A and B are shown apart, each in its own frame.
Chain A
Amino acid sequence: SAVISQKPSRDICQRGTSLTIQCQVDSQVTMMFWYRQQPGQSLTLIATANQGSEATYESGFVIDKFPISRPNLTFSTLTVSNMSPEDSSIYLCSVEDPAGGYTFGSGTRLTVV
């Protein structure tokens, strides 16, 4: 299965600022997925990023708040913009495993103060 390097692993940010999270995959993949994981809640899909096209956002998530880049088949970034304390969460990127299931990065633990 693919190996994903995600960074930063954690950050503490001031409200109103933006943070960009990067994910690098060791193989070419068509789709990359961005999730949010909040305490007491199930994993929530933010958007699906396809190379060469705009990301597809799930209900409740918008491009202005979570812009995504997908410049090639091995890399993607998610930006959390104009942050507020409610954005404090773990953010995860993921790719589909050809053998079934999904592989995840190690996550970015974001705290907004």
Chain B
Amino acid sequence: QKEVEQDPGPLSVPEGAIVSLNCTYSNSAFQYFMWYRQYSRKGPELLMYTYSSGNKEDGRFTAQVDKSSKYISLFIRDSQPSDSATYLCAMSLLTGNNRKLIWGLGTSLAVNP
């Protein structure tokens, strides 16, 4: 079993839809949870960073962490064609002085006008 599971999609939605992107994980020691957006031919860009269970909102984006279920989500409200990208989840934990960072495969999202 992979430490982080993410459905690669592709996911296609109409403009204005609410998008739900999800990752599950198996290691309960993960402490920090991140969502990145990656446009074609670009590096990943940090969207959301959180370390506690619950919701964190930033504009049209909401990150949700459920540590009891080992499940994280990213919601995009009023999706726009400019949101079309690959979305990667990532999780990290500290082991001594080292930080271990594990990535999901990424979900490809297309928002159609």
Contact = CB atoms under 8 A, between A and B. Distances in A.
A9 B90 CA distance: 24
Nearest to B51: A100
B32 A6 contact: no
Nearest to A56: B98
A42 interface: yes
A97 B44 contact: no
A102 interface: yes
B46 A102 contact: yes
A43 B44 contact: yes
A105 B104 CA distance: 19
A97 B43 contact: no
A18 to B, nearest CB: 23
A9 B41 CA distance: 9
A109 B43 contact: no
B46 A42 contact: no
Given A42-B4, A43-B88, A104 B105 contact: no
A42 B103 contact: yes
Given A100-B49, A101-B34, A101-B49, A40 B105 contact: yes
Contacts of A41: 105
A106 B44 CA distance: 8
Given A40-B8, A40-B105, A101-B49, A106 B88 contact: no
Which of B44, B46, B102 gathers the greatest number of chain A CB atoms within 10 Å?
Answer: B44
B41 A104 contact: no
A43 B103 contact: yes
30 contacts: A4-B43, A6-B43, A40-B105, A41-B105, A42-B4, A42-B104, A42-B105, A43-B44, A43-B88, A43-B90, A43-B103, A45-B101, A92-B43, A94-B43, A96-B99, A97-B46, A101-B49, A102-B34, A102-B46, A102-B101, A103-B46, A104-B43, A104-B45, A105-B43, A106-B41, A106-B42, A106-B43, A107-B41, A107-B42, A107-B43
Interface of B: 4, 8, 32, 34, 41-46, 49, 51, 88, 90, 99, 101-106
